[in-house]
Structure 1
């Protein structure tokens, strides 16, 4: 970005300090994302690596995202993470975290001046293998280079890689003939190495979802994915140190002997990473990897000081708890930097101290400046309090105009083009002329905003700031419409995995053959026909009859998807039961088709309500959705909105798996209907689902004057009677309920939209009533598992279909740890989640002993409120527990 056109940059004195390489420079007054902006202005002039240090992991992730938004394209920004487990426990950090740590340290060897590392204090305190190990173990893969392939795979295993059949995640490798697939933390995509003999013939990347090669590479780097490496030299070093501790320091013999045996055998185990000091002659600090000219940015030193004390208190507490149980671990000082170590290391580098408050007296004695910036913390509350019929952006429009008159450019980063176009339309409705730019921030200049009321940029930024002296105000989507959760990588539509259901087929699963009916899958086997060997599926039918199906006829078989705990009845090979069943279904379908054709012919003739086009308030409601929409979800919303604008009554089926975003499609349809003065009914099959929908709809509509009610057995008879009366009077805008909505005493004043969730779970009688209810109103059906006849109607044009096949991005990374049953691990994991404000599912394997496990947990965690739920409970008791959770 070109600096603002002023005689002197607001941060000129900081540039002078860096030119002379002073010791400490303090900058105060920084609010919002302004520290990241300042760093982006400094970095091109520094010509050295930068370490941005903050107090905790969450803040480190936020700062890394902010710096990436502002940074030049050639500025590499990496997050150096801390362990994702508590120290001195029998659980190891995830391979993803350890691999990412190796990647950052390796980049410090390779990248040089254009690298910015963002890290938390806890990550910096964790000691690491010495630099010499990292340099020696990094494998450079170049076509033409020779490797003994057996030695190569042994080295991968020593570096912590897990051998698998198919590579999908970092830290895995697979060998198939002359192909070796490996997913290194140093590569954004897995690598496919093709050998000719022991020589590397080619190196390619491949897509882990399709397993197809994507790009040829001239070279690649493979890094370790563990910090404890099981190579003979390190195992011998560890054994020697353990013997010494046993003989000289009186370590508990039984605990040490068990660890010693595992290490001698090369067996990794949960918590082995805590023995890092025993594997190497000495450990180093991450700060040892930094060149002497590195520039340190320290965010809020007083907070860092407090956090340092807190981290060490937690480390000592954890170590003492384990020592009291007779377990052996290295001392905390062997595994972590002490306060004195940390202070000594940071004192070796030039440091820029960043503070939001005034500069303290000690720092004023050194170099320092105050930059007048302001955050947007109060912006959303100001917008909501000044909300008018024109929407919430009226005040924002005034501020953008005022800023433009003062020569201040207002930038509005949007996470995607759809969001940018939506915000542009909303601002234009307030008489502004915003500029929609495809540029990144680093390519933007103030000239791009000249003559415009604000500039919309594409990029992820959580929070903005105002910096008048720099002529800049940045306002983000989250600050306007509420928290957003950006997508970190494009989601893969499930249609690309058409064979996924079959690949999940397990032995003893029921399968359906289109000609022979239902049988049991007994496995895949090879048979020799003539002189050739072929693969066959073995399917067993009633009476032990067997069908050998060639794999090229897989299109005739699919996994049985019916319900019932006892399983379906098997058909007999050559019998008539399957043919009779198909004839019965065909007859029922013909009768149903005749009835449906009449019903839908009637609906086509009857005119529905043509809803007015979406307005400003609808766009605001859209923008307040807390997740980024998937492409399929946007298409479904577009199709529903188009139907609602037509004169023919809508009857659309939206099909998508659980969690794919069907409810948001219904929410937007309901909003538009209610804005047009129509009532909305949402019909669900269970009381629990009614409660969940009531909470979701009430929350999303809380900022708007809509009355949302629920009719279910959780409402008393008196409450239900009052709600029904108010529905008839038009005082209720939206009602959610079970089959109670289908009773004759419920009359709507002006029903405009009916939403049915999981229609196939309603009985025949309920469906008959549904037909009458939806005769001349817009109908939207949501389903995760459409019944065949519903899907058939959609495909033959009787009913419109929208399919959401793209899953949303994982909202929290899912990590699985396998460990022995350990009270300490259970207590720590649950308490950590409760401190975060979260909830915990504890899954037990037997109903008969679940109450005993509940008593054990109440004793272990007296501060937690613990409830028990299982499938053998009375329905109402189970519902009560689920709802209280």
Structure 2
């Protein structure tokens, strides 16, 4: 009723400056009406942090809140309405003086030390690569900054200390736009503090009793504003909506807070009789207007074309052009909008500029020498020239210096969670033997994959019609808008089903991204075409969940459904198997029990998480799927390169976009405290939810259960770990799903494949002992339904953590989307996804050489057996006495230099090298001599590889090319100087390639 109530109220003089709403949705609807009535509106986000919460977990909303507050302070108050959800106004917010800004403009002379200090006092985080608002990066003559009010970050280029260029740049590519800016406004990333206020605030925060992991201003500053903050409704005329009043009463009941009592005295926005908000579907639009033809009708549309789409000639109405979304009914008026809901999604896209960072101490795999330990970049003088090398440690005292231009020879070692590899010994040849053994095995796997694909190509598939109007009705009844990925996947699947050949397609996408909805479209088309469909899942729990989903969505569509699992009695099972044989059941959902059934007219089999089935079950799936359409579903991402290799013989569809209603998981890093634990558990139970508690030690898990029960005696706890039999595990999970337990105390066994939308809080004990990929995957267990998910990474003793562990946990805390801290996690999951496709039998081989090398070798095997052979890139050994490296003076960060070395080592064309040179110029300033010479060295490597050259050497100015066909070519440069040597080599190579 918010729209009709506010519309009525705004007809009279409106003495209020703030309208307090229940949530974001109500704020949006109110704003549309206020704008329609000629008011300017400023909207606060729904900021739900409770006093003492770590604000890093609410960074996005906090920045939006402070930005809106700054705008409100500055704006003239005539016909201006601040619309704010109740929870955004419960705490003191900074006064105007704490939100002042400053400007940087073309030609300004900067004191760099003073500027850094100012950014620090404004709450900016100093980083190497800008990814989020509120970050700044100083790199020599380049300053990148992302002011919170801007939609893109800005790059400042300096000439000495003077600004000579200001341009927006792209987060994904890190490259600048062409258009120059005159100046930019630098707003605070938190508060605009002077030195004294900052010192006072920092002292208060560091003495705080709140259990934040990082006791700094960004984490706790808002809670210590004192006289620098104010609760706005105390001094500004404010009015509550009915929804906000309900929310307030609920809060007062839970918190018994005297601080909030003053809000009860505020006036309530009245709802007049016979006024109502309405929702009209386009199909009923004209008939509804005919019923109310005696009223004054106003129709709103953002353009004339929308009016023309509806035949309004017969209906007397006032047409108004505008982008408002107002739909309401009063005794005398009807106002209807033809516009779609224009509410912008608060979601931010994930920066794809991912750094696959190597850290000192990481295990790596060299393609020729096997598993070693990465020890960092070192500079050595070799052949009289200064060069950068990667230092790798092997067994004993063995060391390997890898030239940085060959960084593509190594990959981070990733295998199954927790497995620690044994480091290889150099020069023994054992790794080469292991690789050969695995290559032979991979050729067998690849030939099986290719042969199966070839066989299926020859089999005629049952033609499935996909043009039934019922399918479109089914899609519209989902209650949400399909993502573009879902629509594309459905088109691809339908094309296969109609095509006359047997479908073999893999649909991959994270849990909650809508794979089952896509699959249901295929099932509906199959059943409408007169055939049967089967969905097979590896566990009873997963099968049970799928059955419930399908039953709910197919209700009332005349589809006969059944489930087949071990919970059926032998009598029920026999009856169902007969029904399948006679064609009396259209769709069956179940576990591997389905694989022994006989169908009358099976046309589609959908297999969820195929890699979790046993060998015999996989063989049976293969046998059934020979002449039946098959759709496999996987929740683990598939590596892009493997995707390309497999897509030549198998259909691949991917869901990468989360549904619009999916909320990010709110993440906190906390020191373990009993009081905190009670608060977390009770908060979730109060909202009717359940909790996952991860304790990754079977030996002490029962002791932890006792401790939890001593703390909270009424808590119903179930225990789950790998030593509990499978049947018992399923029974525990089903009982948890049915709500018989509050808390599931488990090892990381729950890491994947379980969809429990009522469990929306996860607590992870000793989180510093997990890899970032595992933490990211565990966090993904919650926030799968419409409720917001909460994730708590607990650590025993904060002070004993390494700085690196602290940094990585904080990255996960402040990025609950797949951004900076989580890119690495996604990379690990993606590689594991490739392993999952291949099944458990390969885990021994994968452990020996790591996923990355294993998948590379599999791609080569698949390509070598299919008609699309990979063009093999030949290695080139450069033994040149040339000083060449990416200069640390230009690119200070080892992490960024390493990433550029990796990308340059993978270049396969001169164009790629040139593009990276342009990028270096843009991001770091003009390349110096050593950097330019290194880029030329990479150009030489690329050209030499294309021309069949194996090695290039020089002795003084004499240069020799050694070719793969055992021939060689010698020539001389003008002198032994670096520039002359490089020029002579490039002239030879470019002359030949031209």
Decide whether aligned partners of structure 1 residues 94 and 266 sit closer, same or farther in structure 2, where only a CA change above 3 A counts. Answer: closer
- Rounded to whole Å, the distance in 2 between the matches of 1:460 and 1:517 is 62
Match of 1:679 in 2: 532
Work out the CA distance in 1 between the residues paired with 2:547 and 2:160: 65
Task: Quote how far apart the aligned CAs of 1:748 are.
Answer: 0.9
Matching of residue 758 in structure 1 with residue 723 in structure 2:
no
Cα deviation per residue 1:600-620 (whole Å; 9 max; x = unaligned)? 444333322211233222112
Give the match for residue 920 of structure 2. none
Q: Does the CA-based 8 Å contact 1:400-1:410 persist in structure 2?
A: no
Cα gap change, 1:605 to 1:817, in 2 (>3 Å): closer
In 1: Cα distance, 2:185 partner to 2:165 partner: 14
Task: Map residues 458-607 of structure 1 onto 2, 5 A cutoff.
Answer: 465-466=328-329, 469-473=332-336, 487-489=345-347, 491=349, 496=352, 500=355, 502-503=356-357, 505-529=358-382, 533-542=386-395, 545-563=398-416, 565-568=418-421, 571-588=424-441, 590-591=443-444, 599-607=452-460
1:96–1:185 CA contact under 8 A, matched in 2: no
Partner of 1:794: 646
Unaligned runs of 5+ in 1: 1-30, 243-255, 318-331, 347-352, 359-370, 380-392, 414-438, 479-483
User: Residues 403 and 409 of structure 1 are in contact (CA less than 8 Å); yes or no, is this contact kept in structure 2?
Assistant: no
Deviation at 1:119, TM superposition (A): 0.4
Match of 1:24 in 2: none
The partner residue of 2:89 within 110, 116, 124 is 124
Deviation per residue, 1:369-427 (Å, 9 max, x gap): xx743534xx8xxxxxxxxxxxxx9xx7356445368669999x9xxxxxxxxxxxxxx
Is the aligned partner of 1:854 residue 2:696?
no
Q: Which residue of 1 aligns with 2:461?
A: 608
Cα deviation for residue 101 of structure 1 reads 2.6
Distance in 2, matches of 1:257 and 1:656, equals: 43
Alignment of 1:406-425 (within 5 A): none
Q: CA deviation at 1:107?
A: 0.9
Question: What is the match of residue 278 of structure 2?
Answer: 375
Query: Is the Cα–Cα contact under 8 Å of residues 833 and 839 in structure 1 kept in the other structure?
Result: yes
Kindly tell me: are residues 374 and 458 of structure 1, through their superposed partners in 2, closer, same or farther at Cα, counting changes over 3 Å? Answer: same
Confirm or deny: 8 A CA contact 1:66 1:461 kept in the other structure.
Answer: no
Which whole-Å CA distance do the structure 1 matches of 2:538 and 2:314 have between them? 50
Q: Is the 8 A contact 1:66 1:462 kept in 2?
A: no
1:232 to 196, 199, 209: 196
In the TM superposition, what whole-angstrom CA distance separates every residue of 1:738-780 from its partner, at most 9, and x where no partner exists?
A: 332223xx10121010112233444443333222211222111
Q: 1:769 to 1:819 in 2, by over 3 A?
A: closer
Do the aligned residues in 1 keep the contact of 2:33 with 2:324 (CA within 8 Å)?
A: yes
Q: For 1:273, which of 222, 228, 243 is the aligned residue?
A: 222
More deviation, 172-181/808-817: 808-817
Structure 2 contact 73–96 (Cα < 8 Å) conserved: no
The 1:90–1:674 alpha-carbon spacing in structure 2 relative to 1, beyond 3 Å, is closer
Query: Matched residue of 1:816: which SS?
Result: strand
Return the alpha-carbon distance in structure 2 between the equivalents of residues 839 and 640 of structure 1: 36
Instruction: Tell me the alpha carbon deviations over residues 555-597 of structure 1, each in whole angstroms, 9 at most, x when there is no partner.
Output: 3333344437544565554554444444445545555566556
CA distance 1:660–1:742, change in 2 (3 Å): same
- Say which SS state the counterpart of residue 670 (structure 2) adopts: coil
Say if 2:164 is the partner of 1:218.
no
**1:646 Cα offset (Å):** 1.9
TM-score for both structures, normalised by structure 1: 0.70
Partner of 1:449: 310
1:690 to 2:543 alignment: yes
**8 Å contact from structure 2 (residues 531, 602) kept in 1:** yes
Looking at structure 2, the residues matched to 728 and 461 of structure 1 have their Cα atoms a distance apart, in angstroms, of: 57
CA deviation map 1:151-198 (0-9, x unaligned): 222222223333333332233333222333333322233333334444
Q: What does residue 153 of structure 2 align with?
A: 190
The equivalent of 2:869 in structure 1 is none
Change (3 A) 1:879 1:764: closer
CA distance in 2 between partners of 1:445 and 1:296 (Å): 37
Of residues 120, 134, 145, the one that matches 1:157 is 120
Aligned alpha-carbon RMSD (Å): 4.8
Judged with a 3 Å threshold, the aligned counterparts in structure 2 of structure 1 residues 656 and 848 are, in CA distance, closer, same or farther, namely same
- After superposition, the C-alpha distances for 1:226-270 in whole angstroms (9 at most, x for unaligned) are 45957324645998xx9xxxxxxxxxxxxx99459x9xx995496
How is 1:721-740 mapped onto 2 (pairs within 5 angstroms)?
Answer: 721-740=574-593
1:615-639 CA-to-partner distances (Å, cap 9, x unmatched) read 2221122223455434333222111
**1:669 offset after TM fit, Å?**
0.9
CA distance in structure 2 between the aligned counterparts of 1:77 and 1:512, rounded to whole angstroms: 58
1:869 aligns with 2:720: yes
Partner of 1:207: 170
Q: CA deviation at 1:648?
A: 1.7
Residue 469 of structure 1 deviates from its aligned partner by: 4.7
The reply on whether 1:101 has 2:65 as its aligned counterpart is: yes
Structure 1 pair 551–657 and aligned structure 2 pair: CA distance change class (3 A): farther
Aligned partners of 1:572, 1:410: CA distance in 2, in Å?
Answer: 87
Distance 2:215 2:614 in 1: 60
For residues 471 and 447 of structure 1, the distance between their equivalents in structure 2, rounded to whole angstroms, comes to 20
Change over 3 Å in CA distance of 1:108–1:145 after alignment to 2: farther
- Residues 1:310 and 1:449: Cα distance change in structure 2 (over 3 Å): same
CA contact under 8 A between 1:60 and 1:120: conserved in structure 2? yes
Residue by residue over 1:273-329, the C-alpha shift from the partner in whole angstroms, topping out at 9 and shown as x without a partner, is 33321xx4x644435997xxxx966534xx656655665666655xxxxxxxxxxxx
Residue pair 2:32, 2:326 contacting (<8 A) in 1 also:
no
Match of 1:248 in 2: none
Look up the match of 1:432: none
Alignment partners' CA distance in 1, 2:483 and 2:438:
37
CA contact (8 A) 2:328 2:334 kept: no
Q: Secondary structure at the match of 2:691?
A: coil
Moved more, 71-80 or 192-201: 71-80
- Contact 1:637 1:665 (8 Å CA) reproduced: yes
State which drifts further: 188-197 or 399-408. Answer: 399-408
Helix, strand or coil at the partner of 1:840: strand
Q: 1:826 aligns with which of 665, 677, 701?
A: 677
SS state of the match for residue 690, structure 2? coil
TM-score, reference length from structure 2: 0.63
Checking the alignment, whether the CA contact within 8 Å between 1:464 and 1:476 is kept in structure 2 is: no
- Distance, in Å, in 2 between the alignment partners of 1:581 and 1:123 is 61
| Aligned residues between the structures | 727
Counterpart of 2:241 in structure 1 is 299
Distance 2:715 2:323 in 1: 37
**Separation of aligned partners in 1, 2:54 and 2:537:** 45
Given the superposition, is the C-alpha separation of residues 514 and 656 from structure 1 closer, same or farther in structure 2, using an over 3 Å criterion? Answer: farther
Q: Could you give the per-residue CA deviations for residues 461-480 of structure 1, whole angstroms, max 9, x where no partner exists? A: 999555685444459999xx
Higher mean Cα deviation, 798-807 or 720-729?
A: 798-807
SS at match of 2:719: coil
Identify the match of residue 135 of structure 2 among 172, 175, 181. 172
The DSSP-based 3-state class of the residue aligned with 2:667 is coil
SS across alignment from 2:129: coil
- Match of 1:355? 270
**Structure 2: tracts of 5 or more residues without a match:** 737-994
